[in-house]
Amino acid sequence: MSNHANTLDLEWRPYDLTDGEQVVGDVRVSNEVNSPLLESSRRVVAYLPPSYETGERQYPVVYMHDGQNLFDEAMSYSGECRVDETMERLAADGYEAIVIGVPNAGDDRRLEYTPWPHSEYGGGGADDYLEWLLASLKPAVDATLRTKPERETTGLAGSSLGGLVSLYGYFEYPERVGCVGALSPAFWWNDEAWFDYLEAQPSRSGRIYMDVGDSESLEDDDLNAAYLEDAKATAALLESNRHEPSLRFRVDEGGRHRETAWARRFPAAVQFLLP
């Protein structure tokens, strides 16, 4: 972890609904926040639970990657995960949380979401991304929204490379992150480095939801096998005596590597992760 954190000036306004855009519930968007560490800027999106405006209680927070794909299909480049619809529905059963959608950096998505470089695709900038998210963005969110800022009520969640960087962040920031949702995590990016890293981590308590489809890629049998076998191997390590998280792992029969599959599985992740 570096020492490059800076305080963000974070402000919120209602989500701007225009033709073709649709969100459900109380969704807000921030001003554009700069990150000298990442040499980029972006607007983050906040989903607030139904009871937020009617009381003074504080809420758990889940930080989700690929924020363009979470709430509004019109803003997505590959479909919508229907996070707002899911959270509104689960609130009736008592599952309420603030969800912060952090947009990816476009062409630099692979850079920010990968701990180590790939021999062909590059990457390896996850440390800077997580430092910005957890040391700059999180304090600003805690200062402007009624959050429960403790480790036990702070989570990371994402799909594919977003699942990889979420699990990596859980181990790199044990004092700040207590739960993780990793949907179809892309451990294939550098699975040798991943398993070496995971085996070296000390045990720590927490909650991890992880899943994978058995049909992640119908076009590439080797890639499909890598998703499935790497996820099973990671689950086995997490369940070993070296680690003590509460883990829920599932293989989704027929599950593809796409937003519609993750939207279908996201409710199970929320129900498991929220205290």
Residue 95 covered by a domain: yes
Confidence (pLDDT) at 3: 45
Q: Is the pLDDT of residue 132 over 70?
A: yes
Dump strand ranges (E) for 97-146: 98-101
Tens-digit pLDDT profile for residues 153-164: 999 999 999 999
Buried-state track 3-17, b at ≥16 Cβ within 10 A, e below 16: eebeebebebeebee
Residue 91, number of CB atoms within 10 A of its CB: 15
Residue 24 covered by a domain: yes
End-to-end CA distance of the chain: 28
Residue 265, number of CB atoms within 10 A of its CB: 20
Closest CA to 230 of 128, 139, 160, 152: 160
When divided into structural domains, the chain yields a total of: 1
Owner of token pair 């794909």: 69
Contact 87, 25 (CB under 8 A): yes
Q: Is the pLDDT of residue 36 over 80?
A: no
Residue 113, domain CATH? 3.40.50.1820
For residue 70, give both structure tokens: 């979470």
**DSSP letter at 69?**
G
Query: By residue range, what is the domain housing residue 127?
Result: 12-200
Tens-digit pLDDT profile for residues 161-174: 999 999 999 999 99
Residue 271 covered by a domain: no
Confidence (pLDDT) at 18: 65
pTM score, two decimals?
0.94
Confidence (pLDDT) at 66: 94
CA dist., res. 115 & res. 185, Å (int): 13
Contact 258, 78 (CB under 8 A): yes
Q: Is the pLDDT of residue 44 over 90?
A: yes
Residue 233 covered by a domain: no
Residue 232 covered by a domain: no
Using 50, 70 and 90 to split pLDDT, how confident is the model at 243?
A: low
Confidence (pLDDT) at 194: 97
Residue 268 covered by a domain: no
Confidence (pLDDT) at 43: 92
Residue 259 covered by a domain: no
CA dist., res. 71 & res. 227, Å (int): 26
Residue 255 covered by a domain: no
